[in-house]
């Protein structure tokens, strides 16, 4: 018969008896998570490009066309900043690409807010976002990562 006892400084003791059929061995590290490699991110460059293309179709009023400004066209205008850049930031990437994505994540809202004062066109803002994305990738030397299959090789 196994007997466990716990004593506190107040002279309180607790005894627990277990039958011999139940053997107990404490784990070596009871509070540490199991060691495993980090999971691969489900995001890929294709996901970002699909978001950018659908956003372009929305902002150019080709998908869900309407005669007035609506939420679909607004989503299209912001799609590169709201969907494409976060999808690419979520994947594992090289420092050059991460730096470019950080600049885009901070700079694109300024562009999206300032350009409608120049010309109130959803398509113009989306095109400016695309040009900014390509220019920043080129400036940071990360343009080779814009194609699927490029990036960190394991």
- Let me know if residue 96 belongs to a domain: yes
- Let me know if residue 102 belongs to a domain: yes
In terms of Cα–Cα distance, which of 6, 81, 88, 13 is closest to 47?
88
- Let me know if residue 51 belongs to a domain: yes
- Let me know if residue 14 belongs to a domain: no
- Let me know if residue 74 belongs to a domain: yes
Separation between Cα atoms, residue 67 and residue 82, nearest integer Å? 24
> 67-108: per-residue pLDDT in tens?
999 999 999 999 999 999 999 998 888 899 999 999 999 999
> 22-46: per-residue pLDDT in tens?
655 655 555 656 666 655 555 567 8
The total of structural domains in the chain comes to 1
CB atoms within 10 A of CB 128: 20
117 conformational bin, left if phi > 0, alpha if psi -120 to 50, beta if neither = alpha
Domain span at 72:
45-146
């Amino acid at each position: 018969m196994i007997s466990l006892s716990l004593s506190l400084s107040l002279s309180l003791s607790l005894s627990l008896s277990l039958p011999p059929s139940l053997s107990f061995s404490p784990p070596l590290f009871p509070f540490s998570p199991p060691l495993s490699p980090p999971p691969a991110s489900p995001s890929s460059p294709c996901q970002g490009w699909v978001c950018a293309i659908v956003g372009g179709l929305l902002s150019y009023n080709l998908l869900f066309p309407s005669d007035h400004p609506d939420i679909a066209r607004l989503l299209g205008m912001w799609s590169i900043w709201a969907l494409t850049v976060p999808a690419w930031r979520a994947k594992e990437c090289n420092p050059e690409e991460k730096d470019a994505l950080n600049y885009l994540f901070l700079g694109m809202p300024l562009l999206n807010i300032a350009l409608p004062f120049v010309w109130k066109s959803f398509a113009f803002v989306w095109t400016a976002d695309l040009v900014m994305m390509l220019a920043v990738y080129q400036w940071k030397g990360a343009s080779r990562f814009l194609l699927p299959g490029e990036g960190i090789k394991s």
